[in-house]
Amino acid sequence: MADKETVIGPETRISGEVRGEEDLIVRGRIDGRVQLTQTLTVEKGATVQADVDVRHLIVAGTVVGAIVASESVRLTSTARVVGDLASPRVVMEAGAAYRGRVDMGDIAAARAAVSAHAVQRPAVVEKPATVAATATRPALPRMAPIAKAAVVAKTAAPVAAPVPAARPAAQAAAPAAPPAFPRVAGATGAMSPAWAKKKIRRR
């Protein structure tokens, strides 16, 4: 009997995705995503840090994440909830703590937004690539770092834009340097050939 209902006990933690067509009672912790066709109950002391897509949601514990409930949401007096909330019926009891936006209208749009949110996550991983690409710009005057940065950009990001942009800039910098060099050499004469050679090698 007790084995029929799904319970996540107080000392149990799930990280990942939970899907199902039955009621789920959480006394422990879930991180990730919860998708149910029935009721999710987050009991006092429990934590759900997840995007939630259910029919009914009853919260006495803590929920952090985007919430879509196709029928109702009830935040009891001990509830602590952070995240946008979309449901046609929303009840907040006295004592409930909530931060976020409530939408009692377009559930379909909210649901699409939640699933889009899930799809967008890989894009967040790509962010370091764009950071690396912008980081190559200040390094332009020096030749070697550009080559390295370009390689890094190539391997790290299949994003084509920053690589072609960096190359013409590098080529432009290279021809600009030689006309300036003889004048410097002429002015200083033979006083600093080592310095000049170093400069040539660097270029």
Partner 1 sequence: MANTVIGSSLVIDGEITGEESLTILGTVKGKISIAQGLSVESGATVEADVEAQTVTVSGRLTGNVVARERIELKPESKMVGDAKSPRIVIADGAGFKGNVDMDV
Does position 10 interact with partner 1 (CB under 8 A)? The reply is: yes
CB count within 10 Å of CB 99 equals 10
CB of 120 to partner 1, least distance (A): 19
Does position 13 interact with partner 1 (CB under 8 A)? The reply is: yes
Q: Which of 28, 61, 65, 162 binds partner 1 (CB under 8 A)?
A: 28
54 touches 40 (CB < 8 A): yes
Give the Cα separation of 145 and 140 in Å (integer): 8
Q: Which of 1, 7, 47, 169 binds partner 1 (CB under 8 A)?
A: 7
67 touches 87 (CB < 8 A): yes
Does position 45 interact with partner 1 (CB under 8 A)? The reply is: no
Kindly tell me which of 23 and 53 has the beta carbon lying closer to partner 1: 23
Helices (H), 42-192: 107-136, 143-156, 162-188
Residue with tokens 């990280």: 15
Does position 21 interact with partner 1 (CB under 8 A)? The reply is: yes
Alpha-carbon distances, residue 138 vs 141, 146, 163 (angstroms): 8, 10, 14
CB of 145 to partner 1, least distance (A): 41
Does position 14 interact with partner 1 (CB under 8 A)? The reply is: yes
Does position 118 interact with partner 1 (CB under 8 A)? The reply is: no
CB of 25 to partner 1, least distance (A): 9
**Residue 75: strand pairing partners:** 59, 92
**Residue 33: strand pairing partners:** 17, 51
- Dihedral Cα 120, 125, 128, 134, nearest 10 deg: -20
Kindly tell me which of 37 and 134 has the beta carbon lying closer to partner 1: 37
Does position 44 interact with partner 1 (CB under 8 A)? The reply is: no
Counting residues that bind partner 1 (by CB under 8 A) gives 25
Residue with tokens 């749009």: 109
CB of 99 to partner 1, least distance (A): 27
Kindly tell me which of 5 and 106 has the beta carbon lying closer to partner 1: 5
Residues contributing to the site for partner 1 (CB under 8 A): 2-24, 28, 32
